[in-house]
Structure 1
Amino acid sequence: MENPDFWHQKWASNQIGFHLEDVNPLLINHWQATNPQRDDKVLVPLCGKTEDLIWLAQRHDEIQGVELSKIAVRSFFAEHFYTPMVTPVSGQHELYQFDELSIYVGDFFTAPLSKADIIYDRAALVALPESMRLQYAEHLKSLLSEKGRILLVTLDYAQNEMSGPPFSIHEDEVAQLFSGFKITRLERDEADETHPKIAKKGLSRFAEEVWLIELE
């Protein structure tokens, strides 16, 4: 990952405004659009310590996560009073396992992941600078099973009004990154003037968008 020290520092200093304390409502509202089956293998890249992992593990038998920060992964298991089995993997990663959950600590691009039927990306693509997004999208696609699909959450705001991460990703870029796939916008949640990004940051617009990306 580009500039991993940036993210290590964020977790070390607990500057994790990107972390949601509860399950993401966009996941709850739109997961059914992926036509999920109990035995579908689910991948959550750059998962942090998201509560979404627990929600998904209640519905699927195998959840894989990947996270750069060991602090995040250890916090996740500690906060849920889980004692995972920890295994060194290929000298570059550690694998934390507990019941349905398997989380790799280390670089997403080199983690020894198995193919996934559904990939849920709420905070990964938007965390990456433009220079890394094509590489990320190509790697994501390589991890999809034959009938795999992606539930993707992106942000849309005027990039010149706020520096990322998280970064703004226009619908045109989503189309370019996943060219050859069927792309459906499931929701565009437009913030009003009371939203912190507008009221406090002074952005002219801010929206979360949810995409279903499927193999044609």
Structure 2
Amino acid sequence: MSAKEVETDLDAGVLHNSEWVKRWEVGDIAFHQSRYDSLFDSQGEALFPGGAKSVFVPLCGKTPDMIWMYNQGHSVVGVELSEQAVQELFSENKLEARVQHVEGVGPLYTSTDGRLQVYVGDLFDLTKDQLSEFDRVWDSRSLVAINVVDQERYRNLLLSLLKKGGEYYLKTLDYDPTVWPGPPHNISRQRVNELYGEHCNIEILEETNRTGLNPNTPRVPHSDVNPPTDPSGDVVPQAKPSSAGAALKMSSYLYDRWYKLLLK
């Protein structure tokens, strides 16, 4: 996701809003997960103790995470660029929606009981005054989709939406950034600390090693790991991967991490 004034530059890992909308239109949505996140299975009760919570979900698409939280009785508000994704979220889950227009943002889809709301528009067009504050921010690979130049702006907005004593859950990808410019963007532990360390206490809730690399093994840049050579011994230039999925398979390391952030 980008500020509206930038242009798509895939080689630099920059996407304009229209490119995200197009991906939904043509079905290029490998980033969409058809099942809710497994963290709900292992830690669902610990994430939402003490009854119903209000939850904000940035760049939500049609994630089943929202439906899981909604079905548990929580009030969930999301924002998504693609109206198609929002329509599918409601229709695929057999939820009737009321639609109204929000000036300066776009359509707002609301379930008949009012507990599920999704704005169609740019996240940065929304304000704290419009959204209020939330008990939880649920950022499941949303930060990784934000253009790098907008990450601080994104952080500031989401932290402003968190109630005092609220909890921010952040899921990231950490991989060799030389294999792919993003999105999804590489978000290392160091980058999480750079973005949030001044403002939040940070705890790693879950770390999944997708490549089997020992976490204590020094990370070697992918380009230095057994580079292919021709018969003369010269290194053969590697073909540019055609997709994020192909690139991540080339990475010498790949971690999924869930963080819990608490405002200081």
Both proteins in one fold, TM over 0.5:
yes
* Cα deviations by residue, 1:146-200 (Å, 9 ceiling, x for unpaired): 111101100000111123111110111111211231100111100136xx95898
Per the alignment, do residues 182 and 75 of structure 1 end up closer, same or farther by CA in structure 2, a change over 3 Å counting?
A: same
- Cα distance, 1:63 vs structure 2: 0.7
Larger radius of gyration: 2
Please, what TM-score do these two structures have when normalized by structure 1? 0.92
Alpha-carbon distance between aligned partners in 1 of 2:247 and 2:161, rounded to the nearest angstrom: 39
| Residue 220 (structure 2) aligns with | none
Alpha-carbon distance between aligned partners in 2 of 1:29 and 1:72, rounded to the nearest angstrom: 27
Q: Secondary structure at the match of 1:132?
A: helix
Tell me which stretches of 4 or more aligned residues in structure 1 moved more than 6 Å.
none
- How many residues are paired up? 214
* Cα deviations by residue, 1:89-139 (Å, 9 ceiling, x for unpaired): 114221111132111111112223121110010021010121111100010
Higher strand share: 1
Q: Secondary structure at the match of 1:183?
A: strand
| Residue 49 (structure 2) aligns with | 36
Please list, as runs of the form range in 1=range in 2, the aligned pairs for 1:69-84 lying within 5 A after superposition. 69-84=82-97
* Cα deviations by residue, 1:2-50 (Å, 9 ceiling, x for unpaired): 3101101111111000001111113433444445332321111100000
Alpha-carbon distance between aligned partners in 2 of 1:162 and 1:212, rounded to the nearest angstrom: 27
Q: Secondary structure at the match of 2:123?
A: coil
Which blocks of at least 5 consecutive residues in structure 1 are unaligned? none
The Cα RMSD (Å) is: 2.0
| Residue 122 (structure 2) aligns with | 107
Kindly indicate whether the alpha-carbon contact (under 8 Å) linking 2:180 and 2:248 is maintained by their aligned counterparts in 1: no
| Residue 154 (structure 1) aligns with | 172
**Comparing 103-112 and 148-157, the one that deviates more:** 103-112
Kindly indicate whether the alpha-carbon contact (under 8 Å) linking 2:56 and 2:78 is maintained by their aligned counterparts in 1: yes
Please, what TM-score do these two structures have when normalized by structure 2? 0.76
Kindly indicate whether the alpha-carbon contact (under 8 Å) linking 2:35 and 2:64 is maintained by their aligned counterparts in 1: yes
| Residue 189 (structure 2) aligns with | 171
| Residue 159 (structure 2) aligns with | 141
Amino acid at match of 2:173: L
Correspondence for 1:206 among 254, 261, 264: 254
